[in-house]
Amino acid sequence: MEMWLKEAQIKDAAMTYKVKETLVRKKTNYQDLTIVDTEAFGRMLLLDGIVQTTIADEYVYHEMITHIALNTHPNPEKVLVVGGGDGGTIREILKHSSVQKAVLCEIDAEVIKECKKYLPEISCALEDERCEIFIGDGIKYVHEHKNEFDVIIVDSTDPFGAAEGLFGGSFYREISDCLTKGGIFVAQTESPFYLPDVVKRVYKDAKDVFPITKLFMAGIPTYPSGFWSFTMGSKKYDPENADISDKPELETKYYTKKLHKACFVLPKFVENLTC
C-alpha cells in the first residue's frame, strides 16, 4: 500500500510526498514532531505537519541563512542561533574558522534529540566543542544577553503559534541590543509568492531597527513555491558592498562568492515588497 504525506501549510495549495516509512511521530511539550523517510527527498522533519528540512535539499537553506551574514561580517567570533534544533545552521556556522562560540537556543529539546538520531548528516556539528546548546525561550535569551553576539540567526519555524513572537519589530529591537556594534541579524522570512504580506511586514519592521536592511532569495524545493526569502539587518556592514575576495572558500553545495551578491538582485514583484 502506498503512503502519501500531504503538507497544507498554504490554505489553497498543498505539497504531497510519497513516504517509505514513518521513523518517529510524537507530541512534545510544544508541537507535533514527525520524521519520515520519503522517496523523493529522503528523511524529512515536520513540525505541526509543516516540512522543516529534508536530507535532499537542506543545504540550500542552511548555507544561505548562514554564509551571507558570516562572510559579510569581517570577523564573526560569537554567533547565536534562535531555533534551528536540527543543527544544520550550526554545522554551517562552524565552517568559519573565526567563530569561537556558536550558541544554539532551541525551546524544544525533543527536536535536537530526534534530529541527532535520525538526521545525523544535518545535526553532526552539535557535539563540536565550540557549540553551546541552551534549551529555552529564544526571546528571553536575547533579552538577557546584551552586546554579546556578532551575528544572530533566527532559524525559526513559520510565523504562527509558538514562533509568532520571533517575527516583529519588538523582537528585532531586542536583537539589535544583543548584537555588538557591528552586528548582523538574518532570518528566514517566508515565500513572497504565497505570503507577501508577511515578507513586507517583516522587512519593514527590520528596516525600522537596522540602518542597513536587505532581502535576498534562494530556491528551496520543499518550501511552498520553492522560492524563499531571507531578511538581513546590519548595523554597519552592507552585504552587497562587502569585500569577500579574501574570505576562505567553503565546502558548500549552493552558496558561492558570486551568489553572495547576486542573491540580492530581486524580481520586480519581490522588490516591490521592500518599498
DSSP-derived pairing of the beta strands 179-188 and 227-234 = antiparallel
- Is 178 buried (19+), middle (13-18) or exposed (0-12) by CB count in 10 A? buried
Catalytic residue among 155, 158, 208, 246: 155
Could you tell me which residues are beta bridge partners of residue 27? 32
- Is 147 buried (19+), middle (13-18) or exposed (0-12) by CB count in 10 A? exposed
Strands (E), 48-124: 50-54, 78-83, 101-106
Which residues 6+ apart lie within 8 Å of 29 measured at CB? Answer: 108, 110
88-to-62, 146, 194, 274 alpha-carbon distances in Å: 6, 25, 25, 28
- Is residue 155 among the annotated active site residues? yes
- Expressed in percent and rounded to 5, the helix, strand and coil fractions of the chain are 35, 30, 35
Residues carrying an active site annotation: 155
